[in-house]
Structure 1
Amino acid sequence: MKLHNNSIAQLAQALLHPASIALYGASDDVSKMGGRPVQFLKRSGFAGRIYPINPKRAEIQGLQSWPSLQSLPEVPDQVFVLTPTETVIPAVRECAALGVKVVTILASGFSESGTEGVQREEELRQIALETGIRILGPSSLGVVNPRTGLVLTANAAFAEPDIPPGKVFVASHSGSMIGALVSRGKARCVGFAGLVSVGSEVDLNIGEICAATLDDPAIEGYLLFLESMRHGPELRAFARAAHRAGKPVIAYKLGRSAAAAEMATTHTGAIAGEDDIADAFFKDLGIARVGVLDALLETFPLAKRIPLESAPKRVGVVTTTGGGAAMAVDELGIRGVVVEPPSAETLKRLEQAGLPCTPGRVLDMTLAGTKYETMKGTLDILLTAPEFDLVLAVVGSSARFQPQLAVKPIVECAGQPKPLAAMLVPDAPEALAALTAAGVPCFRSPEACGDAIAAVLARRQPGQEPMLPVPGPTLTLSEADAYGILDAVGVPHAPAVLRRFGSEAAPLPFAYPVVAKVCSADIPHKTEVGGVLLNIGSDEELAAAMATLRRNLDDKAPKAKCDEVLVQPMQKGLGEVLVGYRVDADAGPIIMLAAGGIWAEVAKDRSIRLAPVAVETAREMILEVNALKPLTGLRGKARGDLEALAHTVSAVSQLALRPELRVAEAEVNPLLILPEGQGVTAVDALVFQHV
């Protein structure tokens, strides 16, 4: 559901700043799910009006209890339905009839529980569509806004007193996770500007909720805990808007270990696993995706410190403990972040200042670095050294009981133009609190440190917004018709002529040897039916090949409609690749460049981006495919035309801007890479087009 500006404001108000709340099915027993929200709201000092609804009690936890929603003196902004599954739909209908803006559903037992649950969920969706009421959940543990005392949740973790307010907003599929983040955040002196458990997203989804809060000046960034990407378009729109607003987004998504999904009949679907597409989705929309839970809390200050437009690539490390720094360097290295050593000029400056200047990848000051003057002087030099875009200070044992020695200088350097981060090797709560208060990105473990820095550096600026065709059923094009699609976007392909079975032979417009392939929309994978014959050297051999193809069809694909054979000249390149395009149901259009040949699906040597991509981005993709490295002239080998390949990858990705072509999926496989200056040539293509 698309929101107008007034609807956005109403949603944000009712969800996070309600003036009145009804607790449908509230309990007097604080140990029960239905009793917790009343207890939490009273204790947190919520200034709005609280209406417990329970026809069996006159009073609940010291508050007047009301027999029904209709008996209330006003229509509440938000209703939290705490009753069992079978009562939910009547309660939501009642809320909609009264004009309630938002209803939150605690109960489970919907689409995750089978056919009956799916029907219940669809009924909820129809109520929202027909009445305009917004539904949070089912399986939502509620909404929390520490700034206003709104602790509208059944999550037991919110028995935690004095929840600190902060600058980041949390949206989570998992209800228990918002409680976990609050307790972990409190231990780290990290507060929140709001937390929402979205549950099953029958109506309101993470992207929509976060987008509704973007105008809130108290919210400076977002943390997302995702179990899936069920509402990709809304998440995409939010990420783009957050980028424009300068509010970083950090995401933790489950599913990294899931097996690659067979999402289509092309190799593209088999090679590009579901999580790999999600990874490209996050990076290309400027979202920092972390894989360590602590990093979800610790990445925001770093992402805030480093605007996406100036994301650094060169990291320098200074340390008082060689072992601690080695752990950080290892964690960065396995994530593809290389630590830069100080330059000769920087070492000279350090020497002139009487500071430790031992050459090496890490500037290890040893115990000398635990002196305030030594750390401060070293940081002042490193933070002005041109070879570093980001400086990481790793502090050892002194951080725990003597933070004034090596931690205080880090705090004092927080305002310098170049980003500075810190990792503390010991458990040092006082030092962490001081660094957090100063806005210095700080980490408690090498894993979180490496994960956060790598995630921030991996972000890319959002590209051009795609223009998609109207979705619907798809049909497979024949190879000949697929070449017509390639022609429309300027992708070069081998010349081809069509020959009908049983027709008289005509001279070919190109020389032998040639390849003959059955050409039919009914046969997307020709080799599986013996539909490809190579190295045909004469008119006689071509006639015999066509007879063989006919027999193969009659034997292996008797029901396929196939009247033609496509004939092309045999060609050979220095290498071959697969270029695939598809419109993913959640992520939208993607473009993939992969190693070609029979091992493509096994090796999964590929690069994925959201489509469309510019030629510059296509060049980056080429560098990420290991099989293409020999074609750069490595060890004297012939150079392939990788520039032509970059232009072709970009051209295929432009299908995302051509809705009139109605392409749902397209694959060029193989695309031959010719010697440098001679271009590339597609020698097979498969296209699925919306009807």
Structure 2
Amino acid sequence: MTALASALLNPRRIALVGASADPARLTARAQIYLRKHGFDGALYPVNPRAATVLGETSYASIADIPGPVDLAYLLLGTEHVEGVIADVAAKGIPVAAILADGFAEAGPEGQARQARLLATARAAGVRILGPNSMGLINLNSRTACSVNAALEAESLPAGRLALVSQSGSMLGAIMARGAARGLGFSHLISTGNEADLTASEIAGLLVDDPQVDAILLFLEAIRRADLLAEAARRAHAAGKPIIAYKLGRSAFGAELANSHTGALAGSDAAADAFFRAHGIARVTMIEALLEAPALFIGRRPLAAPKRAVSVMTTTGGGGAMAVDALGVAGIETRAPNETAVEGLKAAGLPHHGRMIDVTLAGTRADKVQAALSALASDPDTDLALSVIGSSAQFRPHDAVAGILGAARAGLAKPVAAFLVPQADVSLRMLGEAGIPAFRTPESCADVIRAFLDWRAPAPVQEASAIPHALPVRPDEADARRLFAALGLESGFAVMAGPADLPEGLRFPVALKILSPDLAHKTEVGGVALGIPDAAALRAEAEAMAARVASRAPGARITGFLVQPMAKGLAEAILGFRRDPETGPMVLVGAGGVMAELHRDTALRCAPVGIEQARAMIAEVKGLLPLSGWRGLPRGDLEALARAIVAASRLAALPEVAEAEINPLIIHAEGQGVTVADAWVVRA
């Protein structure tokens, strides 16, 4: 374990700077909770106005503390934090956790305050947890160094799940929810604003901790995506799943996450693509974050999931709820195949239909175990789910005995349970046995969907350098030259003015205004199609110049672009974006003027290889007809895949923030693609 990991994850000598002698105050809680929950290390309250604090010797300053200190928890007001960091550094304390808010989340003044704080800490080699951090908890070492009120609980079950949360209040909420079902945690760490230490870096430290089997992340934003990607790869190698719950799926959620943590929120689709690329499982329900580990721990991502499950139930209505929720999540409940049917017949159990209802056959443990064993033998499904009715509440030992027996038998696939009533004892028994158990059909479907979506980290693609200079304010001609440098060249010519007609034009042509200020030229009358000859081209250029000057008087006009008219089988949108959270992304979708409306797209971390590009194309419904669907003509999807790979190489050009081809015209198989319109934005 590194010195940082030791000081942060398992501190044994803790300074509580600003600890209050009044037990009713928030700043007294850390000391109270540490002692209440059995911390047997050294505590050093720092309070210049008291000789003792809550029965322990107090120190007037950090410098007065005898010997080394692993961690300083600063329980000070915002205005006092900056001045104390220098004292922390002088003492040689490696990590300072900061409770106070009023930093990056509080606007420009707070952002400046946080920048000064971080500069001082970095110059002295001090790592910062927070600001706005509710501290850290190591339950195996009984270290409850936090002010979270959830620590008022009389006992806190220790375990092997680690939670890193950017929200301090959720730290306690998740711990309390876990305790209610017998789940224990190894670590719970609140990262707050993440001025320095991020959830990404801490996840990497937890990968190496022998007390941790799985890492849970509660995220409002992704910071240091590079460190999270590295942690995820090492976690996969170590067999430790990383499971994330991330806010920001809606515009409103992203806005709140931004205001809460002072983060710059990226797109949720980019976060999804990032998690998928790096082998991080994502759940969408907070209940699922607690229920997922039992399904993931000890297992690897499925190489070729069937996206189908077998369901047996002792309650028709409860089973139907599970089947319905799974279907909404895109998971089929499949009728048993011949092998499973034979096993069900041998046990004297029903064997028809998508859902095997064993209610009338009795719910004896041997029957349930036999049913699950038969269903687990089905090669066409990924998981066997048992849905249990009232017996789970009133006869817990009988209700789960068959499931426990099936799990102990070492079946070929996972077994899980959805308990329809409130059945805490049954949930606890299943949890202690490491069997996934769900309270609601929605969380059941969410966890199973996350498991089937889970992939091993994708191979790292290296983007080769692009020897191309991009102007400070590029227009479409500059964008086309950039894409041509990537191998996506389509013929065009530039006119400086209406009278500057290029030679050798192949009519009919399209004419477009050139301006670095106009991303959507059609809206200002800056596009004309099907121009038949030179005279019409000159006249249209004069009319277009007048229209654009009238409708966009502030736009800088750099000329006109002329290109031959092209027609293909379909249009695609091909885009690149440097996401503020997750980094370079490449996108493909159904293109044209309706692209923004339909949102029929696939997204990946850039750069991508040809196989990833093909997979992206297969995800876009609007491109399905080009595969020869129902006898339609085949489009050149291989040329489109090569174009995706080419555009993804923009990851190697840091001056490009965004770039787009829309539409990219797709011709018949073997005839390539044509760039119809292009755009690029400098970083």
Give the match for residue 227 of structure 1: 220
Question: Which whole-Å deviations, capped at 9, do the CAs of 1:262-308 have from their partners, x for residues lacking one?
Answer: 9xxxxxxxxx9822222222222222221211111110121224312
8 Å CA contact 2:505–2:564 kept in 1: the answer is no
8 Å CA contact 1:355–1:377 kept in 2: the answer is no
Give the match for residue 164 of structure 1: 157
8 Å CA contact 1:320–1:368 kept in 2: the answer is no
For 1:106, the aligned partner's letter is L
How many angstroms apart in 2 are the aligned matches of 1:425 and 1:504? 76
**RMSD of aligned residue pairs (Cα, Å):** 2.7
Q: 1:306–1:339: structure 2 CA closer, same or farther, 3 Å change rule?
A: farther
Give the match for residue 504 of structure 2: 508
Q: 1:436–1:310: structure 2 CA closer, same or farther, 3 Å change rule?
A: farther
SS at match of 1:368: coil
Q: Please, which moves more after superposition, 583-592 or 498-507?
A: 498-507
Offset at residue 192 of structure 1 (A): 0.7
Q: 1:20–1:439: structure 2 CA closer, same or farther, 3 Å change rule?
A: same
For 1:249, the aligned partner's letter is I
Pairs within 5 Å for 1:538-577 = 538-556=533-551, 562=557, 564-577=559-572
Question: Which whole-Å deviations, capped at 9, do the CAs of 1:190-210 have from their partners, x for residues lacking one?
Answer: 111101011111111111112
Q: 1:631–1:27: structure 2 CA closer, same or farther, 3 Å change rule?
A: same
| 1:364 pairs with 2:361 | no
| 1:649 pairs with 2:644 | yes
| 1:33 pairs with 2:26 | yes
Q: 1:505–1:667: structure 2 CA closer, same or farther, 3 Å change rule?
A: closer
Give the match for residue 167 of structure 2: 174
8 Å CA contact 2:302–2:452 kept in 1: the answer is no
Q: 1:220–1:557: structure 2 CA closer, same or farther, 3 Å change rule?
A: same
Give the match for residue 128 of structure 2: 135
Question: Which whole-Å deviations, capped at 9, do the CAs of 1:26-74 have from their partners, x for residues lacking one?
Answer: 1233332122111111122212111111222222222222222121111
For 2:592, the aligned partner's letter is G
8 Å CA contact 1:476–1:687 kept in 2: the answer is no
SS at match of 1:640: coil
Question: Which whole-Å deviations, capped at 9, do the CAs of 1:414-466 have from their partners, x for residues lacking one?
Answer: 23332221111122222222211221111121111111111222233333256
How many angstroms apart in 2 are the aligned matches of 1:623 and 1:305? 31
| 1:94 pairs with 2:91 | no
For 1:531, the aligned partner's letter is G
SS at match of 1:307: coil
8 Å CA contact 1:311–1:456 kept in 2: the answer is no
Q: 1:504–1:110: structure 2 CA closer, same or farther, 3 Å change rule?
A: closer
Q: 1:228–1:466: structure 2 CA closer, same or farther, 3 Å change rule?
A: farther
Question: Which whole-Å deviations, capped at 9, do the CAs of 1:215-246 have from their partners, x for residues lacking one?
Answer: 11111111111122243333333223322322
| 1:490 pairs with 2:487 | yes
For 1:169, the aligned partner's letter is A
How many angstroms apart in 1 are the aligned matches of 2:537 and 2:318? 70
How many angstroms apart in 2 are the aligned matches of 1:532 and 1:274? 30
Give the match for residue 213 of structure 1: 206
Residue 442 of structure 1 is aligned with which of 437, 443, 452? Answer: 437
How many residues are paired up? 668
Give the match for residue 265 of structure 1: none
Pairs within 5 Å for 1:12-411 = 12-258=5-251, 274-308=267-301, 310=303, 312=305, 313-351=307-345, 353-411=346-404
How many angstroms apart in 2 are the aligned matches of 1:134 and 1:474? 40
How many angstroms apart in 2 are the aligned matches of 1:104 and 1:139? 9
Offset at residue 560 of structure 1 (A): 5.2
For 1:489, the aligned partner's letter is L
8 Å CA contact 2:470–2:482 kept in 1: the answer is no
SS at match of 1:201: coil
Unmatched 5+ residue regions in structure 2?
Answer: 256-264
TM-score between both structures, scaled by the size of structure 1: 0.91
How many angstroms apart in 2 are the aligned matches of 1:520 and 1:551? 14
8 Å CA contact 1:171–1:223 kept in 2: the answer is yes
Question: Which whole-Å deviations, capped at 9, do the CAs of 1:117-137 have from their partners, x for residues lacking one?
Answer: 222211111112211101111
| 1:595 pairs with 2:604 | no
Question: Which whole-Å deviations, capped at 9, do the CAs of 1:127-180 have from their partners, x for residues lacking one?
Answer: 122111011111111110001111101111111122111111111111111111
Q: 1:182–1:259: structure 2 CA closer, same or farther, 3 Å change rule?
A: closer
SS at match of 1:213: helix
TM-score between both structures, scaled by the size of structure 2: 0.92
| 1:665 pairs with 2:658 | yes
Give the match for residue 3 of structure 1: none
For 1:317, the aligned partner's letter is V
8 Å CA contact 2:470–2:478 kept in 1: the answer is no
Q: Please, which moves more after superposition, 192-201 or 374-383?
A: 374-383
| 1:421 pairs with 2:412 | no
Offset at residue 541 of structure 1 (A): 1.9
For 1:92, the aligned partner's letter is I
SS at match of 2:62: coil
SS at match of 1:30: coil
Question: Which whole-Å deviations, capped at 9, do the CAs of 1:618-668 have from their partners, x for residues lacking one?
Answer: 333233323233434445443333343233223322322x34x84332101
Offset at residue 77 of structure 1 (A): 1.0
For 1:84, the aligned partner's letter is G
8 Å CA contact 1:260–1:275 kept in 2: the answer is no
Q: 1:19–1:505: structure 2 CA closer, same or farther, 3 Å change rule?
A: closer
How many angstroms apart in 1 are the aligned matches of 2:251 and 2:624? 29
Q: Please, which moves more after superposition, 548-557 or 95-104?
A: 548-557
Offset at residue 345 of structure 1 (A): 4.0
8 Å CA contact 2:661–2:678 kept in 1: the answer is yes
8 Å CA contact 1:258–1:275 kept in 2: the answer is no
SS at match of 2:360: helix
8 Å CA contact 2:85–2:121 kept in 1: the answer is no
For 2:511, the aligned partner's letter is A
Give the match for residue 4 of structure 1: none
8 Å CA contact 1:319–1:369 kept in 2: the answer is no
How many angstroms apart in 1 are the aligned matches of 2:668 and 2:323? 40
How many angstroms apart in 1 are the aligned matches of 2:503 and 2:187? 74
How many angstroms apart in 2 are the aligned matches of 1:502 and 1:387? 66
Q: Please, which moves more after superposition, 138-147 or 473-482?
A: 473-482
How many angstroms apart in 2 are the aligned matches of 1:155 and 1:333? 39
SS at match of 1:370: coil
Q: 1:209–1:467: structure 2 CA closer, same or farther, 3 Å change rule?
A: farther
How many angstroms apart in 2 are the aligned matches of 1:468 and 1:619? 20
Q: Please, which moves more after superposition, 584-593 or 27-36?
A: 27-36
Offset at residue 95 of structure 1 (A): 0.7
8 Å CA contact 2:494–2:502 kept in 1: the answer is no
Q: Please, which moves more after superposition, 619-628 or 154-163?
A: 619-628
Q: Please, which moves more after superposition, 365-374 or 198-207?
A: 365-374
How many angstroms apart in 2 are the aligned matches of 1:260 and 1:673? 37
Offset at residue 505 of structure 1 (A): 4.4
Question: Which whole-Å deviations, capped at 9, do the CAs of 1:479-509 have from their partners, x for residues lacking one?
Answer: 3332232233333x53223334265645425
Give the match for residue 258 of structure 2: none
Give the match for residue 457 of structure 2: 462
8 Å CA contact 2:464–2:649 kept in 1: the answer is no
SS at match of 2:616: helix
For 2:158, the aligned partner's letter is P
How many angstroms apart in 2 are the aligned matches of 1:586 and 1:421? 35
Moved over 6 A (4+): none
Q: 1:163–1:558: structure 2 CA closer, same or farther, 3 Å change rule?
A: closer
Give the match for residue 268 of structure 1: none
How many angstroms apart in 2 are the aligned matches of 1:202 and 1:286? 26
Q: Please, which moves more after superposition, 56-65 or 165-174?
A: 56-65
8 Å CA contact 1:134–1:203 kept in 2: the answer is yes
Unmatched 5+ residue regions in structure 1?
Answer: 1-7, 263-271
Q: Please, which moves more after superposition, 369-378 or 230-239?
A: 230-239
How many angstroms apart in 2 are the aligned matches of 1:142 and 1:480? 53
8 Å CA contact 1:474–1:664 kept in 2: the answer is no
Q: 1:396–1:467: structure 2 CA closer, same or farther, 3 Å change rule?
A: same
